[in-house]
Amino acid sequence: MKRVLALITLLSIILLPAQSIGTSTHIEYNINLASDGSATWKIIQVTDINWPIDSLEQFQHRLIIVVNMAKANTTRNMTIDMESLEIKTNMHWETSSQTIQYLFRWENFSITTNGVIMFGDIFSDSIFASLYGNGELYVTYPPQYKVNSAAPHPDEQNYQTQTLHWYRTQDFPTTNNNIKLTKNNIANNLPLTTIVILVTATIAAISTGFLLLNHRRIRKQSPQLPQPLPIRDTQDNKEKITQLLKNEGGKIKQSEICTKLRFSRAKTSLLLAEMEKNNQVRRDKKGKNKIVYIIK
Phi, psi dihedrals of residue 148, rounded to the nearest 5° = -95, -45
The β-bridge partners of 39 are: 33, 106
- 2-188 CATH pick, 3.40.50, 1.10.760, 2.40.50, 2.60.40: 2.60.40
CATH topology of domain 231-294: Arc Repressor Mutant, subunit A (1.10.10)
Distance CA 47, CA 50 (A): 8
Q: What is the pTM assigned to this prediction? A: 0.57
Q: By C-alpha distance, which of 264, 116, 282, 238 is closest to 185? A: 116
Tell me, what amino acid is at 205? Answer: A
Q: Tens of pLDDT along 219-237?
A: 555 455 445 445 556 778 8
Rounded distance between C-alpha atoms, residue 22 and residue 236, angstroms? 108
Q: What is the pLDDT of residues 274-293, one digit of tens each?
A: 898 889 988 988 887 889 89
Lowest mean pLDDT among 8-12, 27-31, 228-232, 248-252: 8-12
Q: Sheet harboring 289-294: ordered strands across?
A: 251-253, 289-294, 281-286
List strands edge to edge, sheet with 136-140: 79-92, 97-107, 39-48, 26-33, 136-140, 163-166, 156-158
Tens of pLDDT along 158-193? 999 999 999 999 888 877 888 999 998 754 455 556
Q: Where are the domains of the chain?
A: 2-188, 231-294
Per-residue model confidence (pLDDT) at position 231:
54
> Considering only CA atoms, which of 132, 154, 141, 171 is closest in space to residue 43?
132
